[in-house]
Every structure is written in C-alpha cells, then in structure tokens.
C-alpha cells in the first residue's frame, strides 16, 4: 500500500538527490583547496560544472538500474542504503573510466573527495528523512488508518504483518466482518459487518480498507469496493488467497481489461536493458580483440583433421526458441554417428552426455575444450541476441525433451556463455544440482550477480576446473 502523495514524495527525493550531487562540487573544491596532501591547486570550478551535469545524468540512469527510488514507507533503511551504494559505485566507476581514458588533468584526490562528500550527503539525507518521518508518526502525523474486511487467517496475517512494521506508519482501526461470517473476536476491534460498511465509512476515519476475503467471495465484494471508491477511500485487495504459484504478481490494464500477471523471471526493464547493452559491447569488443586467436585456432583445426573449422548445432534458447550455436570444432567429423555407440559410457546423470576421455575429441579439440577456447565463437550468438554473456548453458533439443517439468524453467531466460554451473565445477556437478543452480540464478538475478559470475569465470577458465 502506498501513500496518496507517494509520487510527490518520490519527486522531492529525486530532486533533493540531484541538488546534493550539485552541492558536493563546491564542497569538494573547497576541501581540496585546503587539503595538505594536494600536490597542486584546484582547477577553476567553472570548468567542472559540465562534468557534474554528466554525473547527474549517470546518476539518473544508475539509480533506475539499482531501483533506488520507489516505495519508501515499506522499505528498510539497510535495503535503501544498499541500493544507493550500488548506484554510487556504478556512477563512480563509469566516471573514472571516462576521465582516465580522456587523459584529463583533474586531480584524482578532487574526484575522490567529490564522491565521498556526495555519498555522505545522500546517506545523511536518507537518515534525516527517516528520523523525521518516524518522529512525525510518533506524534500522530503522517499515519494511515486502515480497516480489514475479513476475520480469517488471511486477515490475521495482514494485521500481524503491519503490526511487525510500525515504521510503515499504518494504524489498524479494526476488522469488518463478512455478512455470514461467524461473530468471533479477532485480534482487534470489530467495527461491524460488511452490510454496515456505509455507516462505518461515515463514523470512522479510514484512509484505506484491505479486503482479505476467501477466494470464493472475491466476486461478491464489488458493491463494497464501489462504495469505498465513491467516498475516496483507497481499496486494497489482498491477493494472498490466490496461492497460484511462487511468481511475482502485478496488475495492469489492457484496454478495458484488467489483467493479473504472475511472473517468475527477471522483468525490470532498465536492468535488463543494461544487461543487453553489456552483452553487445563485450561481445563486439571480444570478437575484434580475439581475431588473432580465432585465426590461429582455425589453422590448427584444419591442419589436424578434415572438416569445417566451426561446429554448428541447433540449441534451445529463450522460452524454447531454437537457434544455431557456433563453436570451434573439437571432434572428428563423424562424432554424431559414433555417439550412440558410446551412450553406455556416459559419466553423468540426466539427459546430457559427458565422457572424460571421449575418443571422438581431437588433440586440438581437447586443448581448446580444456581452455574453453572452443566457446569463443559464441560471442557471435551473444551479439545477435540469441545468447547472453551470463545465463544457463543452452541445451540441445533431445535433452529438453527429457526434462522434468520443473527443469524447463531454466529456458525462461536467454542462455549464456557462462553461468553459476560454469564457475562451480562444471562436469563435477550432478545434473539435478546443475538445474537447481540455474533456477537459483533466475530467481535471484541481478546485474551485480552477473558481474560476480563474470569475475569468477576467469579463474575457473584458467584452472580448467571441471572442464572436459
């Protein structure tokens, strides 16, 4: 539940942050001018304002990616400060990378002071806002009075949840019984029955009413909802009775239709857009930088055995979409024909085939597999949008046909070059655990998690842990 003036508060916080970023410049300029460790005097402050504008634009983007702004009443201070820290780190890294590559003569100490002061101002402002809001609520200001329709377990759970978080600023006025519900004493004051709603709205000061009713009664509360709307009282319908799955629920309107959406995959637009931008930049840069490696590997493959340099195979991508994945060929040309004869020697569980000393692998192939060089052409798949840098490894169609229902959810995101399985031992992990790792990645996805997996991939590739 949100405050009626949540958008106004959100706008004020956003503007305050931009003002604090701006004020950090003269503060940092003054501090640098009086710092005993400064090697030379500060540059004129006039030439720094353009760079501050760039920092403000970066902050707007980074704060959206880290979801800094949103519902303040129901968000804890630790969570909010963590989001701010991630956004600040992103802005600082990008700013330093741009300034260093441009070979500017800005003192590094001045840049450090600027971000240190900006961080202190942002954190201090959040703490002041929190303490002020808490003091106001203790004095009876900025409180939201609400009533709960229903007396069952769902209603009790709503009351208990809000009672555990007094900092949210919600005060329970009481319960409203369903007409045919048994009259019993719930953990709170009974205001009356649903048939008395008009009287209750006239007599009580209510900002919001929560309908926590059984599923079979949802279609009968429309008159009551309309009555609340006519009086300007916010209506909240608890969807706790709808135990349809573990996905996140959201409501949106499609023309005149109201749609309830259940989604269990990453869906935040800006972080996903940043992930795709990262994929494009990294894959393009990799294909350019690694061109000499491509040529050397291609020559080695052609010299050892007859056949094409690249191995192309149909793989299953996002939500079951087939695509052609490209790798350096690491096996003899008749590898597919010899597979059935080796099925009995499979060393892993599940539908995948893994064999430590696979006789179909060439000498060059064994080396490029051990070093993961055979995967490098997949940067082309990443560039085209068929794969991502980080994501579950793409399976072949025959493997997917043998998946259990719960395992198919790993296809709900774009497959990747590297993943949690890749940095956790690869072939040394059972098939079921592999699937579990992929699902954990999907459920907990974030840009920060992708960065961590990328960093862990480097030592995993160097040590060839679990590679076959």
Q: Please state, in angstroms and rounded to a whole number, the distance separating the CA atoms of residues 294 and 309.
A: 10
Q: Helices 108-138 and 6-33 meet at what angle, rounded to 10?
A: 140
Length of the chain: 468
What would the DSSP string read from start to end of 143-210?
-EEEEEE--SHHHHHHHHHHHH-GGG-EEEEEEEE-TTS-----SS-EEEEGGGHHHHHHHS--SEEE
- Quick one: pLDDT at residue 251? 66
pTM above 0.85, yes or no: no
Instruction: Give me the residues of the chain with pLDDT under 70, please.
Output: 1-8, 38, 71-75, 101-104, 136-142, 167, 179-188, 239-262, 334-355, 425-428, 462-468
Q: Which residue has the tokens 């655990």?
A: 433
For 36, residues 6+ apart whose C-beta sits below 8 A from its C-beta are: none
Domain with CATH 3.40.50.20 in the chain: 144-243
Of the candidates 375, 268, 280, 265, the one whose C-alpha atom is nearest the C-alpha of residue 318 is 265
- Quick one: pLDDT at residue 236? 85
* CATH numeric code, 144-243: 3.40.50.20
- Quick one: pLDDT at residue 389? 94
Of the candidates 143, 147, 144, the one whose C-alpha atom is nearest the C-alpha of residue 212 is 147
- Quick one: pLDDT at residue 157? 83
């Amino acid at each position: 539940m949100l405050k009626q003036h949540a958008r106004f508060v959100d706008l004020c916080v956003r503007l305050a942050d931009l003002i604090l970023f701006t004020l950090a410049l003269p503060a940092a300029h003054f501090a640098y001018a009086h710092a005993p460790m400064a090697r030379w005097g500060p540059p004129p402050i006039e030439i720094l304002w353009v760079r501050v504008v760039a920092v403000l634009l970066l902050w707007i983007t980074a704060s959206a990616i880290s979801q800094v702004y949103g519902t303040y009443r129901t968000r804890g201070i630790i969570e909010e400060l963590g989001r701010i820290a991630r956004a600040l780190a992103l802005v600082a890294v990008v700013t330093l990378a741009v300034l260093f590559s441009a070979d500017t003569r800005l003192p590094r100490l001045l840049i450090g002071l600027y971000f240190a002061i900006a961080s202190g101002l942002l954190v201090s402002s959040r703490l002041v806002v929190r303490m002020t809001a808490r003091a106001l609520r203790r004095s009876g200001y900025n409180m939201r009075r609400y009533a709960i329709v229903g007396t069952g377990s769902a209603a009790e759970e709503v009351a208990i949840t809000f009672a555990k978080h007094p900092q949210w600023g919600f005060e329970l006025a009481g319960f409203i019984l369903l007409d045919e519900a048994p009259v019993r004493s719930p953990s709170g004051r009974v205001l009356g029955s649903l048939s008395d709603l008009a009287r209750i709205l006239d007599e009580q000061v209510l900002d919001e009413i929560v309908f926590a009713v059984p599923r079979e009664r949802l279609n009968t509360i429309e008159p009551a909802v309309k009555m609340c709307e006519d009086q300007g009282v916010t209506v909240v319908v608890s969807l706790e009775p709808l135990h349809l799955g573990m996905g996140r629920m959201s409501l949106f309107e499609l023309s005149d239709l109201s749609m309830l959406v259940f989604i269990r995959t990453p869906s935040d637009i800006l972080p996903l857009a940043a992930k795709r931008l990262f994929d494009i930049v990294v894959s393009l840069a990799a294909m350019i930088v690694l061109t000499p490696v491509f040529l050397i590997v291609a020559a080695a493959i052609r010299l050892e055995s007859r056949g094409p340099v690249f191995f192309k195979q149909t793989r299953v991508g996002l939500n079951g979409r087939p695509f052609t994945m490209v790798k350096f060929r690491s096996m003899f040309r008749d590898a597919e024909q010899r597979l059935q004869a080796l099925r009995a020697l499979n060393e892993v569980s599940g539908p995948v085939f893994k064999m430590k000393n696979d006789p179909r692998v060439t000498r060059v192939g064994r080396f490029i597999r051990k070093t993961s060089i055979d995967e490098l052409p997949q940067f082309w798949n990443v560039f085209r949008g068929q794969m991502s840098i980080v994501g579950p490894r793409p399976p072949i169609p025959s493997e997917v046909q043998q998946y259990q229902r719960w395992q198919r959810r790993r296809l709900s995101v774009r497959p990747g070059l590297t993943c949690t399985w890749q940095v956790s031992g690869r072939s040394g992990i059972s098939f079921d655990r592999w699937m579990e790792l992929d699902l954990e990645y999907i459920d907990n996805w974030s840009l920060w998690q992708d960065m961590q997996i990328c960093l862990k991939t480097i030592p995993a590739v160097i040590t060839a842990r679990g590679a076959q």
